[in-house]
Homo-oligomer: A and B are copies of this chain.
Amino acid sequence: MSLIKQIISGDRRALAQALTLVENDYQNSQNMLAEVYTHTGHAHIIGVTGIPGAGKSTLLNALVKLMRKCEDTLGLLAVDPSSQFSKGAILGDRIRMRDLLGDKGVFIRSMATRGELGGLSSSTAGAVDVLDAAGFDRVIVETVGVGQAEVDIASNAHTSIVVLCPGVGDSVQAAKSGILEIADIIVVNKSDYPKVNVTKSYLREMLDIGSAVQVGLSETQNMTCDPHLVHGTSGAGNNSWQVPIITTVATSGEGVSELFDHLLAHYDHITSTGEITVRRQNRLRAIFESRLRKQLYTKFSQMLSEDYFLRQLELMMVRETDPYTAATECMNNFEINYIGDED
């Protein structure tokens, strides 16, 4: 039986093997991912991001348990920059998930992305497709940082959850880092802490400002007739969806069922309005361009020897060239020609 048939039939060892292939072997995973793709399109893809220390892992643990009670199956992918310091911490998180071990309806996997450049990590996208093909109802992608790359990963989901905690300072920081913009659902966890209402009002105000700006943006963008820009990175304010702000206490489970209800409501909303098609297309385009970029640079840099790089660096250090000119000169030594069919 082929690896893909095994995955579809529910073989968890085959699934783990496929994910390892996606993570480690760009070349050889491609044929598999191409075949995997034909079996995708059923899962609800959920992106989860949020400020460090907001209790994201505890919240996900509670959410996953609730989903299992409702007989939803799910794959959870923790996108991990795999710092040398992080092994213990990540392990700790996974251990909190131990009550779920042995349950065939859940599959949890940490995925290293260190060193992968470019917005959407192509191995993350591939792993999501594998979990989708494996038949899980929902695939959750959890990112660890709150930077641009993490926002890109989360925003390529059907539904993006942003997890914060009380404290306006943190919310301001969240607004600054650009993660509010992609939120379909905002969770204020640790809502038994003081100042939760101040935080909620602040966030609501931010969202209102954001919607106002977005409406302005959409109008301008419609004028340029570029259908890709209108929906941008998706999320808040792009359609008639009102971003809910949900308060939770992950440790006690408070608010978690409300979060699940909103997840279901959002999925219904994007399905009935057709917004999900836009999000699917955005995701496909992001994967396509990300892989183009990567393959292009790989092909190109293989033509340059390590000696070439070292020589350029030497010249820069003695200021006989500079990195800006050197890059352009390097580019000018190559020509790119179209050799495909006329089309």
* Interface residues of A, Cβ cutoff 8 Å to B: 30, 33-34, 37-38, 41, 51-53, 55, 80-86, 88-90, 92, 113-114, 116-119, 125-126, 143-151, 167, 169-170, 172-181, 206, 209-210, 213-214, 217, 277, 280-281, 284-285, 287-288, 291-293, 295-297, 299-301, 303, 309, 312-313, 316-317, 319, 322-328, 330-341
A-B contact pairs, 13 of them (CB 8 A): A34-B324, A38-B322, A53-B173, A83-B180, A86-B176, A86-B178, A147-B151, A148-B150, A287-B324, A292-B297, A297-B297, A333-B339, A335-B339
Give the CA-CA distance A117 to B289 in the complex, in Å. 11
* Residue from B83, B206, B325 within 8 A of A176 (CB atoms): B83
Tell me how far the C-beta of A49 lies from the nearest C-beta in chain B, rounded to whole angstroms.
9
Copies of this chain in the oligomer? 2
Knowing A34-B322, A296-B297, A324-B126 touch, does A145 contact B147 (C-beta < 8 A)? yes
- A340 partner residues in chain B, CB cutoff 8 A: 332-334
CB nearest neighbor in B for A29: B324
Give the CA-CA distance A33 to B334 in the complex, in Å. 23
A319 x B37 contact (CB < 8 A): yes
Tell me how far the C-beta of A18 lies from the nearest C-beta in chain B, rounded to whole angstroms.
13
- A323 partner residues in chain B, CB cutoff 8 A: 37, 125, 284, 287-288, 291
* Residue from B55, B113, B150 within 8 A of A145 (CB atoms): B150
B177 x A81 contact (CB < 8 A): yes
* Residue from B33, B85, B146 within 8 A of A324 (CB atoms): B33
* Residue from B30, B125, B181, B292 within 8 A of A83 (CB atoms): B181
CB nearest neighbor in B for A277: B317
